[in-house]
Structures are given as structure tokens and as C-alpha cells.
Amino acid sequence: MNAAAPRLTAALGNRYDTRYLIDGAITVDGFTLDFVDSGKHPWISFREMITRLPWDIGEQAFSHYLIARDQGRPLTAVPVFPSRFFPQLGAVVRRGAGIDHPRDLAGRRVGVMGFGYNPAVWLRGILERQYDVDPRDIIWVEDSDNRFFAGLDYPRGGYQVERMAGIDGLDGRGTTPGPVAALARGDIDACFAPAGGPPPDDVCQPLFEDRLAACESWLDAGGVFPINTVVTLRTETVERHPTLPSALYRAMVAARLRYHEATDDSDHMGMPYAWLDQRGLFPDCHGIETNREAIECMIDFCSRQGVIRTRPRATDLFCEGVAGDGSRQH
């Protein structure tokens, strides 16, 4: 790397393909990246990257990025999606609450880290589209701390929304949720949590008894593999360094290929690799066209739920000239 190359700061989760940039195995042509310690899971930097924007590059939850853009935050992105997930995996209900089917959520109090946080937006859309559950019939209870996504006063679209402490079951920098105090107290009837949700115990159980079957049902009904995170950039940084988006995209494509070649895990992003492979979901690839359906699905969900005021086109969300060729990277 040229010693005179511009030095930029970046906050990415140290996992999957991004780890190859963090450990220096893959570099961004023409730039030197100085990484902050975001740990394995990047949610600890989400809130900063839509409020103070302290880094040039930052991994961000996809719905957060759409909301931040809609609120006029000076952010853009490259069509790179380090992680994907199925929010059905993290939906839990309180035992004895009488919730045996998604339709039973009507009139109940459902805890979320924040109304606009990624699993909540995706799962509300899935409930409405697949199970004919009107999310406006549900009382949404936001965690009053909201470590994921505080600092923007975005709209809630006329939904029933309350705030309460004790919904965030995450411990420190980790992302494996533990017990949710509000569930244990009986203050909420269900919780939509990240990363598979809190483990079943004498307080909670999964909303979907067979979680993988619920994911399969969504896919069979024409659903998408939901995007979890996207790589964002400060617009001011892109204006100063117009070659950065393409260089970063190329590096991330190379990192994804390296990850595909190296992975020998039986589990990928909380799901069995064999299951993902059988469904044609992995190996995956970056770029707009190959991910357009999932991008437009999230735009639709955010728009229908009223958390964004304008409805962008998929191409509007990403740096000009960085669309990707849509080829499968494996």
C-alpha cells in the first residue's frame, strides 16, 4: 500500500467477509483503512453512525440506513450486505400468554429494541404479507434505552407505540440475547429480538415452533432472504475521494469470495449451511441487481410502516456507478 494513500476510518463487524479487510488480508486499492474495534457484532456502532457519523465507513442495519437517509443524514452506501438473517428466528412469546399463532399477537404488547430496528421492520412486514396480521393491531413497546438506533426522531406511522426499560436482553458487546426482563415481569407478551432471540426457558418460547419451517414457508410464498446490514459511507468522504466506493466494493467482493472459499462451518449466520445451500441462499453475492428483490422489499416495508416519508428507488440508495454485475461470487 502506498504510504501516501489517504487514511480513512472504518467500523465494521469482525466476522464473515469483513474480517479479511480488518486483518489486512484484503486491502482497498488506493486507501489505508484504520478500523475501530467494533467487536464481532457491529450493532455497538449503529447509533453513532447515524448521529455523529464519526467514521468514514460504517456497517449499518439496513432499515436504519433507509430511515437515516430519509431524515437527511449525510450518508450513502455501496451495495455490500455483510449479513442476512430471518427475523422469524428471534421472535419469542411469553409462556402462558395464549400466543400460539402469529394472529394471536393482535392486541398484545410486543417488545422491540426500537420500532424502526431491522428485525422489527422485517417481521412486521412478514406478519402482514404472509399471515394477514395487521401490525397496527399490535401494541409495540420500544426499549427506552434503544442502544441500536436512538438519536433520530423518525415517524411511527400511526402505530400504537409505548416505551419501557428492560427489553434489551443483550449483554455488553455480545449479540446473543439473554433473558428479557420485561417478559419475565409479564409487562410484554412477546419480543422480537436479534440473533435468534433469548433461549427458550420457563418464561419464553419461540413464536414459531419450527423456526426453519417458518423461514421456508416465507420463501415458498415468494419471500426474500432479508438483508441485515449494509456498508455505509459519509457523503463528505465520498465527495473528497470519489474513487473510494468502487475500490471498496471491489475489495468487499474479493473478501466475500475469500469467505465462501474458506468457510467450512456447519452453521452460517445462525442457520445450517446445508439448509441455506439447498435453498440456493448461500453462497451469495453483493451488488444491486442480484439483491434488488430484497432491497425493494425493505423499501416497501419501511414505506408501508411509515418510518420513511419518501420512497426511494433501489439505485438511489447507493453510490453512483457502483451497481455490481450481479454475478455469483463463488
- 113-165 pLDDT, tens digit each: 899 989 999 999 999 999 999 999 999 999 887 777 777 889 998 899 999 98
pLDDT band at 263 (very low <50, low <70, confident <90, very high): low
Tell me: pLDDT of 175 over 70.
Answer: no
Find residue 61's DSSP bridge partners.
229
Percent of the chain with pLDDT over 70: 92
Q: Distance between CA 174 and CA 105 in Å, rounded?
A: 29
Q: What is the predicted pLDDT for the residue at 270?
A: 73
Averaged pLDDT of the chain = 90
What CA–CA distance (Å, rounded) separates 63 from 3? 37
Question: Residue 253: pLDDT above 70?
Answer: yes
> What grid cell was written down for 49?
453512525
**3-state secondary structure (DSSP) of residue 315:** helix
Residue 169 has pLDDT above 80, yes or no: no
Residue 14 CB coordination number (10 Å)? 16
The closest of 233, 236, 228, 261 to 247, measured between CA atoms, is 233
| 255 and 188 Cβ atoms separated by less than 8 Å | no
CA dist 145 and 182 (Å) reads 13
Higher pLDDT: 120 or 175? It is: 120
CA–CA gap between residue 314 and residue 291 (Å, rounded): 10
C-alpha 214: how far from its chain's center? Answer: 19
Question: For 179-232, how does the pLDDT look when each residue is reduced to its tens digit (9 = 90+)?
Answer: 788 898 999 999 998 877 888 889 999 999 999 999 999 999 999 999 999 999
Quick one: average pLDDT of 233-262? 95
Overall average pLDDT of the 77-85 stretch: 95
**Alpha-carbon radius of gyration of the chain:** 19
What local confidence, expressed as pLDDT, does residue 327 receive? 42
Specify which residues 232 forms β-bridges with.
58, 77
Per DSSP bridges, beta strands 7-11 and 57-61 are parallel
Report whether 127 contacts 105 (CB < 8 A): yes
| pLDDT single digits (tens) 87-112 | 999 999 999 999 999 999 999 999 99
pLDDT band for position 171 (50/70/90)?
Answer: low
Give the per-residue pLDDT at 326: 45
Amino acid at 270: G
Closest CA to 93 of 208, 176, 218: 208
Give the model's pLDDT for residue 330.
39
